[in-house]
Structure 1
Amino acid sequence: MKKKIIFGTIIIALIAVLVWLGKKNSKSPIEYETEKPFKTNIVRKTVATGKVIPLEEVEIKPQITGIIEKIFVEEGQKLKKGDLIAKVRVIPNEQALASARGRVSKAELAVNNASIVYKRNKKLYDNGVISQKDFDEFKLNYDQSRQDLINAQNDYQIIQKGYTGKGGSANTNIRATATGMILEIPVKEGYQVIQSNNFNAGTTIASIADMSKMIFEGKVDEAEVGKLEEGIDIEVGLGAIEKKKFPAKLNFIAPKGTEENGAVQFKIKADVVLDEEYFVRAGYSANADIVLEKKDSVMSIKESLIQFDKKTEVPYVEIKTGDQEFERKDVELGISDGINVEVISGVSEDDEIKIWNKTKKDGEEGNE
């Protein structure tokens, strides 16, 4: 009797173990967590890289060719229009100088000859031999020859010294043509400079800019330029000034793009509103945060919850229907900020969505 009881007990225990193992094996070895949709504001942005530069930068160039004799200013110095920047010493061209000297000699000969003719005919006029009309012609020729001599002498002096007696040293003194700050002086005393004319841009002696008027100049990709509009507000961050954003207004979008590294880029410009607390230097590298699209209080989910059909590329999520049981539902998506994405249709606020990359196994969290 006791053997039967013991044997029966063993059989019952064995059955209980088998039932327990069967129930354990029927459960998924991995338990997925879920997350519900939520409402939030989604802002889609793009970042344009570039730099901040002065709105207007003026290059000061000489009107004569020569050698820098003296520089009176330094980089970073503020100037007013008309302030003296440098002085140029003229190094005359020997051929031009010889030619000018020859013209002076020729004009002197013409004056001497006209003077002799004028004096001889004046006596004849005084004695009533020639008429007033004939005498006036001789006087006119004499006056014209004297003026030609003055012109030849002025040309000679300009070639030799760079200025005339009446003009002083106007051409040799290089002055600021605008009010602003000296950004750069690319020459030094003793450097040879070339004058600015119709055939030559000339040597830049200094560049001046108004540092209170700065703009952001950058580039955006062709995929995003169509969403931009002139007049929108953007924020500009400078690499040299941390934790500070400068407001700016977009005022230019290039009508033509340029290809760079296989992608077409479009230049943009924006007026930057400066803060007196910070001194912004020309050429600072900068990034502009541009809002392409914004929606407030829309139903959203984490972008990591979205899966895509391998064949159709249709986005979908898996909705919880029971204990570790899920059902696929296709969804229609809206804008995304890279973390959250708008869900236009496919799920409701009460749905529990399967978290793909966050699981539990035997009470411990792990990766699928």
Structure 2
Amino acid sequence: MLLSACDDSQQTQEQAGQAQAVPVESMLINVQNMDISEPYSGRTVAYRIAEVRPQVDGIITKRLFEEGADVKEGQVLYQIESSSYQAKLDKAKGDLQYAKEQLRLNKRLAQRYKALHASRAISKEKYDEADSNYRLSLANVEINKSLVKSAQINLDHTQIKAPISGRIGKSFFSEGALVTNAQSNYLASIQQLSPLYVEFPMTSQEALSLRSNVSEKSSAQDSVKLMLDNGVEIESPAKLQFADMSVNKNTDTVTVRLEIPNSQASLLPNMYLRAEIKTKADVDGVLVPQKALKHNPKGEASVMVINAENKVEVRPVTTKQMIGNQWLITKGLTDGDQVITVGLQKIRPGALVDATNVNDPQTNK
């Protein structure tokens, strides 16, 4: 009877102890070697921008494009009244023909006088005059050729063409407007949208780290992830460039540039984008849910871990940065540690817990 009573008492105590264990959820720590991505924000910039300007004076008779449409290099955009330029070209061609005829006559006369001078039939002065007129005629033909070429260029410029391919914006001049080649206002602007630039600032140290990291990779595309402002990832390879040649001495920043294909021209200039760029490589760390960390008034971080006796311990940790909704921890945790992620409000240091392991957010296993 006494032994039975003792056994019952021990069983009751064990059951009571088990009842005191607080149910929690935990994750098993697996320290990994990983790259660090830094978040940046920037805006898109057109690959090329060209202002459409007149190169001759005149009245616009036609606008030959739709505002907001895609245009091709060399496409006629405006027509300037051309009759006066055609007349100047016709006159220049006539003057050239006259100069050629004068050259033909003076050449024949110079050849004749040369023979006469050789036989002493005329004076040297007569021959020199004929030869000089011939050479002046040669020069006059070349002058008139250049005048014809210039008149042809001016006539061609009455057709204002697209200097680049891209998307053309609003037209600031309409049919009937007088334009000049010296005016300060452009007629319209064209922006090349494919490819497209994305520019954003980063510190000089971050830029050096990024350059070093990318140089060790076969492709910079693996180092960059672009997202719209709403978080949707842009499925487009990005080529990393460095736009600035020097560091801004006031802010210690450089402007870094990405180039993306934007083949569908879905992104427009001055759009706000977010970028995640790998600026550091080969860092040993672990990702822990944000809710698992606590910070004291000094800003020092700690997590609750489960020891070999299934009791709670406070573990100081060193955090590097936030990645999504998780903290990257680089010091304080080792492989096999169990970090409590759910039930923190019900426990305190030294409390007995009954832990259930959940998926590792790093591997989803």
Check whether TM > 0.5. yes
Aligned equivalents of 2:153, 2:263: Cα separation in 1 = 45
Which residue number corresponds to residue 349 of structure 1?
336
Letter in 2 for 1:249: A
Query: Structure 1 residue 250 and structure 2 residue 225: aligned?
Result: no
Cα deviation for residue 323 of structure 1 reads: 11
Name the aligned partner's letter for residue 87 of structure 1: Q
Q: Deviations over 1:4-39 (max 9, x none)?
A: xxxxxxxxxxxxxxxxxxxxxxxxxxx998664534
1:204 alignment partner, SS class: coil
Matches within 5 A, 1:24-173: 36-39=26-29, 44-65=36-57, 68-88=60-80, 130-131=122-123, 133-142=124-133, 164=151, 169-173=155-159
Map of 1:281-296 to 2, 5 A cutoff? Answer: 281-293=268-280
* Alpha-carbon separation, structure 2, partners of 1:305 and 1:168: 74
Unaligned 5+ segments in structure 1 are: 1-30, 93-110, 197-201, 362-368
What is the distance in 2 between the residues matched to 1:332 and 1:167? 71
How far 1:69 sits from its partner (Å)?
4.6
Matched AA of 1:225: A
TM-score (norm 2): 0.56
- Aligned positions of 1:303-314 closer than 5 A: 303-306=290-293
Task: Say whether residues 1:235 and 2:225 are aligned partners.
Answer: yes
Please report the RMSD computed on the Cα atoms of aligned residues, expressed in angstroms: 5.3
How high is the TM-score relative to the length of structure 1? 0.55
Provide, for residues 337-367 of structure 1, a one-character-per-residue CA deviation record: whole Å limited to 9, x for no partner.
Answer: 2623335445663556598962479xxxxxx
Deviation at 1:212, TM superposition (A): 3.4
Q: Is the Cα contact below 8 Å between 2:71 and 2:167 reproduced in 1?
A: yes
Change (3 A) 1:64 1:247: same
| 1:268 equivalenced with 2:253 (yes/no) | no
- 2: CA distance, partners of 1:33 / 1:295: 36
Deviation string for 1:288-341 (max 9, x for gaps)? 232345789965544555456777x76544556799986554445566526233
Corresponding position of 1:212: 194
Deviations 1:71-96 (Å, cap 9, x if unpaired)?
A: 32233444444332223469x9xxxx
Q: Residues 326 and 265 (structure 1 numbering): CA distance in 2 closer, same or farther, change over 3 Å? A: same
Tell me, in whole angstroms, the C-alpha distance in 1 between the residues paired with 2:24 and 2:163.
70
Structure 1 pair 332–32 and aligned structure 2 pair: CA distance change class (3 A): farther
CA distance in structure 2 between the aligned counterparts of 1:151 and 1:69, rounded to whole angstroms: 34
Aligned to 1:176: 162
Higher helix share: 2
What is the deviation of 1:245? 1.4
1:68–1:193: 8 Å Cα contact kept in structure 2? no
Q: How many residues align?
A: 290
Distance in 2 separating the partners of 1:54 and 1:292: 25
Task: Tell me which amino acid in the other structure corresponds to 2:239.
Answer: L
Provide Cα deviations, 1:103-128, integer angstroms capped at 9, x if missing partner: xxxxxxxx9xxx9xx9xxx8xx79x7
Q: Distance in 2 between matches of 1:216 and 1:32?
A: 51
Q: CA deviation at 1:218?
A: 2.7
**Bigger-Rg structure (1/2):** 1
Partner secondary structure for residue 247 of structure 1: coil
TM-superposed CA distance for 1:64, in Å, is 3.4
* Structure 1 residue 223, shift from structure 2 partner: 5.8
Deviations 1:45-91 (A, max 9, x none): 3333233344333334333355545432233444444332223469x
The code of the aligned residue for 1:342 comes to: I
The secondary structure found in structure 1 opposite 2:155 is: coil
Query: Which secondary structure state, in structure 1, belongs to the residue aligned with residue 238 of structure 2?
Result: strand
Alignment CA distance shift 1:346-1:71 (3 Å) = closer
